[in-house]
Amino acid sequence: MANLGFIGLGVMGSRMVRRLLTAGHTVTGYNRTRSKALPLLDVGMRWGDTPAAVARAADVVFSMVANTAALQAVAGGPDGVLAGLRPGAIFVDMSTVSPAVSRTLAAQVAAKGAYMLDAPVSGSAITLEEGRLSFMVAGDRGAYERVRPILLDIGPKVTYVGANGLAASMKIATNLSLAVQMLAFSEGVLLAEKSGIARATAVEVLLNSVIASPMVKYRGPFVLGMPVEALFDVNMMQKDLLLALEMGRELDVPLPTTAVTNEFLTAARGMGLANKDFAVMFEVLARMSGL
């Protein structure tokens, strides 16, 4: 059993901590809003007052935060992870962030005599709770081998992809398809509906057709009723698409469907839907369709 730290106890992070505690690990956690940690404290998680305190208490420190700026905030400064990280320790960032920033941070961690892995996930809170979450991991191979058994306590699939920053790149390449698929699914539902087919019937047919990817299977029904709590809201998804478009410009890879989908997310924000799950693009397209 490992002595772990975990920074970022939101929708995904809190569920990961529960799985780690269930597996028998000792977990010291930190979240900017302490009240969100109370349910975890009730089931055995220890509290660290700062990210540095968490790092000092752990051999392996995980972070799952909202964006690049949030990662830099928890990593740097006198109270950050870097300040508390011990030589030989491993810092594993699961956030979806800029690959360049992730590589820079990995170099700073190495200067402390420690190791950093970028290890973003593919899946949502639903796939996590179902035990189907997958990881892509990049960084030092030896550090990866040490951490892999712990990651398997969270999800069943862990794939090593190469040097620092490449897992962050892979995650961005993966996430752009989530939004693009959802927009295409919405187009199909609305085309069927306006031709006279009931929306629920169209959804049923599509979810049992060849286009029903795992993501479409769990998010497609949202067009019949949006969840109260967004699994992945508009702002978060647009952040990932903007990272993808930035990578596309840097690497000379045209991303036409990503660019179009990004505009629908902007439209959703303009309609006051930023806090909804990004499946709300369906509502944007429905309004444009006169429904």
Please identify every residue annotated as catalytic: 171
Please state, as a whole number, how many other Cβ atoms lie within 10 Å of the Cβ of residue 127.
18
At what angle are helices 166-194 and 256-270 packed, to 10 degrees? 70
Q: Indicate the Cα dihedral angle 253, 65, 221, 202, nearest 10°.
A: -10
